[in-house]
Structure 1
Amino acid sequence: MTSKDCGHDDDDRKDGFRCIIGGILTLIVLVLLAIFIIWLVLRPTKPRFILQDTTIYAFNVTAPNLLTATFQVTLSSRNPNGRIGVYYERLDVYASYHNQQITLPTRLPFTYQGHKDITIWSPFLYGNSVPIAPYLGMSLQQDQNAGLVLMNIKINGRVKWKVGTWISGKYHFNANCPSYITFGNKGNSNNPNAFNFGAAAVKIQQSSSCQVDVAI
């Protein structure tokens, strides 16, 4: 084999390498283009959650660093997509006060939500003698004196998307719903939502929009 033949073989290998790289780049561009077209057609939008009401059965500091809380919350979820269904998998709901979890997580039932459908859940949230940071007891007393408590109802779990017969992989789902609770002397005519800790159950209408995040 002459040196000229060897040089020709090198050129062939370079051309073949360029063809492979070009093919890979073309495939990547086509895949990205297909994803973009699908996104334009489907316009996927995150589900919308609303905290409709909160019923308080107990919300008391039972010891300097122990908090007992029992709530029932009503959550409404709407799928705004006209071509995409949503599978809610392993959604856990719990209450948080000053970024500290104060109830055990309650598991919502597995749910499929069709196009434009609305789903309503009414889970109970329990926390019996939950240890809390010392400052939270003081903060709760201050909130009681001010007549307003801000809690957060949080939802964590997984969701899947459904388009036709295709079902996506699992996505992380998080929702944060502020719950404003007013209280004072029970029977205060100026404040129909007022209640004392330890009093009978009180239901507070809220219609609070939740912040929803969906990520891979």
Structure 2
Amino acid sequence: MCDHKLNLEPMPLKTSPAQPLRRPSLVCYVFLVILTLIFIAAVGFLITWLVTKPKKLHYTVESASVRNFNLTNDNHMSATFKFTIQSHNPNHRISVYYSSVEIFVKFKDQTLAFDTMEPFHQPRMNVKQIDETLVAQNVAFSKSNGKDLRSQTSLGKIEFEVFVKARVRFKVGIWKSSHRTAKIECSHVTVSLSQPNQSQNSSCDADI
């Protein structure tokens, strides 16, 4: 019998090449930076809000009158509107910058008169009186609005709306906010035609 020797030498193991470590991409770094900045801004806003405890601005029409009123048979109206708007900033740490102010007198969503105001600054804990005179000249009314206006004048009064649109910024310490649009609507401003100096105060709704 032939003597066969078994080859018991170990087989070499096949090893796969080492995988290089994957490094975070530039996109991941940018995303993390943006996320961190958003978090810091949110925390800063929360701290500012907790410290200042902002309160709503309040607006009212304190007095109003209509003079030189005339309504023609073909529904054209002329009049001079005078009124005082009171702006109240009740905040202890927040002042308000009004960059631009537009004021409208309306009757049932129809603009009767329009004017602009100079920019102004309202300090903290301040009440400001805004006196305005707007003139409507030969404004054409629709048939339905003309009928409603005649119905009111037959009772010796007129009810109109004062609308204010403003660009505002808020200041806390050295920080100023970006511009925001304030829409202030003072409805049901009622004045007497027989006694022009008599009117009812009207509160306003503000959306800032």
**Common fold: TM-score over 0.5:** yes
Which residue identity lines up with residue 181 of structure 2 in the other structure?
H
State how far apart, in whole Å, the 2-side matches of 1:139 and 1:8 are.
83
State how far apart, in whole Å, the 1-side matches of 2:17 and 2:88 are.
71
Deviations 1:124-170 (A, max 9, x none): 01111012222111111122345553210111121111122222222
Output aligned runs, 1:150-189, within 5 Å: 150-181=159-190, 183=192
Deviations 1:72-106 (A, max 9, x none): 10111111111011111221212100111011x22
Residue 146 of structure 2, aligned match among 137, 149, 159: 137
The DSSP-based 3-state class of the residue aligned with 2:197 is strand
**Alignment check: 8 A CA contact 1:58 1:71 kept:** no
Match of 2:13 in 1: none
**Alignment check: 8 A CA contact 2:99 2:168 kept:** yes
State how far apart, in whole Å, the 1-side matches of 2:31 and 2:190 are.
62
**Residues 1:210 and 2:204 aligned together:** yes
State how far apart, in whole Å, the 1-side matches of 2:94 and 2:144 are.
45
The DSSP-based 3-state class of the residue aligned with 1:12 is coil
**Residues 1:110 and 2:119 aligned together:** yes
Residue 41 of structure 2, aligned match among 4, 7, 31: 31
Q: CA deviation at 1:45?
A: 2.8
- The CA RMSD measured in Å over matched residues stands at 2.4
**Residues 1:12 and 2:23 aligned together:** yes
Mark the runs of 5 or more structure 2 residues left unpaired by the alignment.
Answer: 1-15
Residue 59 of structure 2, aligned match among 28, 45, 49: 49
**Alignment check: 8 A CA contact 1:85 1:113 kept:** yes
Q: CA deviation at 1:181?
A: 2.5
**Residues 1:77 and 2:87 aligned together:** yes
Moved more, 114-123 or 19-28: 19-28
TM-score by length of 1: 0.79
State how far apart, in whole Å, the 1-side matches of 2:200 and 2:152 are.
18
State how far apart, in whole Å, the 1-side matches of 2:135 and 2:62 are.
19
Moved more, 70-79 or 166-175: 166-175
**Residues 1:89 and 2:89 aligned together:** no
State how far apart, in whole Å, the 1-side matches of 2:20 and 2:59 are.
66
- Taking structure 1 as reference, are residues 115 and 98 closer, same or farther at Cα in structure 2, changes over 3 Å only? same
Match of 1:61 in 2: 71
- Taking structure 1 as reference, are residues 18 and 147 closer, same or farther at Cα in structure 2, changes over 3 Å only? same
**Alignment check: 8 A CA contact 1:66 1:132 kept:** yes
The DSSP-based 3-state class of the residue aligned with 1:127 is strand
Deviations 1:13-34 (A, max 9, x none): 46x7655544432332222111
The DSSP-based 3-state class of the residue aligned with 2:153 is helix
The alignment of Structure 1 onto Structure 2 pairs a total of residues equal to 194
Residue 134 of structure 2, aligned match among 118, 125, 129: 125
The structure with the larger Rg is: 2
